[in-house]
Amino acid sequence: MLLLFENTQKTTKPPDQTALVGALNAQLTHHGSTDVLRAAIETIPDVALVSSFGAESVVLLHLAAMVKRDIPVIFIDTKMLFTETLIYQQDVAERLRLKNVTVIRANDIATDDPDGTLHRHDTDACCALRKTAPLQAALKPHAGWITGRKRYQSGQRAHLEFFEAEAETGRIKVNPLARWAPQDVAEYMAENRLPRHPLVAQGYASIGCAPCTSPVAVGEDPRAGRWRDTDKDECGIHFVNGKMVRTGANT
């Protein structure tokens, strides 16, 4: 199966990928994650995989390595990550023999957050500076990107489909693990003997920047430790112009 991605050259308005996304979701509705990855690679020019190398990231990275080992992988170093995450990123990339990992960082941190305290009074601005802006810049050459989001992770992700259209950018977002359950993740990691992020053993179920991440208690939502005691549960990389990217039924 090979569908054509609309040509974005010499246009100022991003292409509307709603029809293509609808067709892909319909064709792959009963397929597994590997088929979704293959379809994304065959259909979307220069598709990239964005990974936090967090608690469950190794599953998607392993699947992608089996399909296309040199797929572009983008890792955002916010300069506030746990040391364990930085070490884990290098370890996983080496073990999976990933051939095309790019580490990106914001260029203007010294100017916009010189003392590293922006997260204390404006977490949205901090995420925009350290994550969203550098990622959007890194994604410009790519017609789509692959994420590890899953429906069970939070309310805003409860209705994820395999493919989503970003109207504001013209890119297609791919969520191969959208329908996986926590048990699926655990079993896959065990069966394939994949290395776990060292902080998982300390109760961290979802791992982001150190100042804004805490362990979760048994029975808590996996993302309860992100921006604890606030109404924030997304860093912003899945938003465009401050709004969650949604198209049609892909909510």
**pLDDT tens column, 48-105:** 999 999 999 999 999 999 999 999 999 999 999 999 999 999 999 999 999 999 999 9
CATH code for the domain in which residue 50 is found: 3.40.50.620
Catalytic residue list contains 209: no
Whether 8 is covered by a domain: the verdict is no
Which residues, at least 6 apart from 104, have a Cβ–Cβ distance to it below 8 Å? 74, 75, 76, 77, 134, 135, 137, 138
This prediction has a pTM of 0.85
DSSP tally for the chain: helices H, then strands E: 9, 8
Whether 192 is covered by a domain: the verdict is yes
Whether 249 is covered by a domain: the verdict is no
What range does the domain containing 190 cover? 18-244
Whether 7 is covered by a domain: the verdict is no
CA–CA separation, 155 and 165 (whole Å): 19
Residues of the chain with pLDDT under 70: 1-12, 154-157, 232-251
Instruction: Please say whether the beta carbons of 72 and 44 come within 8 A.
Output: no
Provide the pLDDT for residue 234. 58
Instruction: Please say whether the beta carbons of 87 and 197 come within 8 A.
Output: no
Whether 6 is covered by a domain: the verdict is no
Provide the pLDDT for residue 222. 78
Whether 80 is covered by a domain: the verdict is yes
Provide the pLDDT for residue 31. 97
Provide the pLDDT for residue 251. 28
Whether 104 is covered by a domain: the verdict is yes
Whether 94 is covered by a domain: the verdict is yes
> Which residue in 127, 209, 212, 235 is the catalytic one?
235
Provide the pLDDT for residue 5. 44
CA–CA separation, 42 and 40 (whole Å): 6
CA–CA separation, 167 and 170 (whole Å): 5
Residue 228 to residues 64, 140, 206, Cα–Cα distance (Å): 32, 32, 12
How many structural domains does the chain have?
Answer: 1
